[in-house]
Amino acid sequence: MIIVLFGPPGAGKGTQAKRLEERYGLKQLSTGDMLRAAVAEGSPLGREIKDIIDGGHLVSDDIIIRMIDARMDQADCQQGVIFDGFPRTVAQAEALDAMLARKNKQIASVLLINVDEQELYRRIERRAAEAAGKAREDDNAETLKKRLEIYRGQTAPVLPFYRQKELIAEIDGMAALDTVTAQIEAVLEQHQQAKKRA
């Protein structure tokens, strides 16, 4: 099963992805985590992208697509994956489609986690405070403003692409954590039932 978790920064994609990983035996593929790991390693790629990430801008589609293509072929992704923070542009969504067609796979559902902006600021500030000095460089109100602009300008336009394919399920991300998980699980159960009947 291939799932896309979609939503603005701070919507809870990472938290929910980790819960689904255990429950459904899927692999979370967070492009943000993969990029931060490259920065932490100090690899040439990491050095190239550090300032981009810290400023809340997007890393180039080319780098992201190559990274995901290689990662999807590894053994731990064969049961299925949860994309977290990918695709973030229409070009990435189109490349993902082509990539999955080549690998004979398809997206089961795109879960759009809706959270209002005021709440996103509260969450990012809380996340930074809880990280106690080890906060992500991009977890602050100023960079969140930039990340939200980019979400609206470059990432939200991916939604019509998936809407047209009737893949979107809307999730109320303002609800309590467990309620959000339950909403997502209900969508995935439905999908699994439909697949069994097919």
Q: How far is the CB of 48 from ligand AMP (least distance, A)?
A: 12
Long-range contacts of 121-129 (CB under 8 A, 24+ apart): 121/10, 123/10, 123/12, 124/9, 124/10, 127/10
Residue 21 or 191 having the CB closest to ligand AMP: 21
Rounded CA-CA distance 135/53 in Å is 14
Taking the complex as a whole, how short is the minimal distance between the CB of residue 86 and ligand AMP, in angstroms? Answer: 4
Which residue in the list 122, 126, 145, 195 is annotated as catalytic? Answer: 126
Of the candidates 147, 111, 141, which has an alpha carbon nearest to the alpha carbon of residue 128? 141
Q: Tell me: does residue 3 bind ligand AMP (CB under 6 A).
A: no
x/- map, 107-146, ligand AMP, by CB under 6 A:
-------------------------------x--------
Instruction: Identify whether 126 is a catalytic site residue.
Output: yes
Q: How far is the CB of 82 from ligand AMP (least distance, A)?
A: 13
Size of the site for ligand AMP (CB under 6 A): 17
State the nearest-atom distance from the C-beta of 194 to ligand AMP, in Å: 28
Residue 85 and residue 62: Cα distance in Å, rounded?
15
- Rounded to whole angstroms, how far apart are CA atoms 154 and 57? 11
Q: Do 117 and 108 form a contact (C-beta atoms < 8 A)?
A: no
Of 90 and 187, nearer to ligand AMP (C-beta) is 90
Return the closest-CA partner of residue 109 out of 77, 80, 152. 80
Q: Indicate the residue among 41 and 182 with the shorter CB distance to ligand AMP.
A: 41
Q: What is the 3-state secondary structure (H, E, C) of 115-141?
A: CCHHHHHHHHHHHHHHCCCCCCCCCCH
168 touches ligand AMP (CB under 6 A): no
Torsion angles phi and psi, residue 28, rounded to 5: -75, 125
Give me the residues that bind ligand AMP (CB under 6 A), please: 9, 31-32, 35, 52-53, 56-59, 64, 85-86, 88, 92, 138, 147
Active site residue ranges: 13, 88, 126, 136, 147
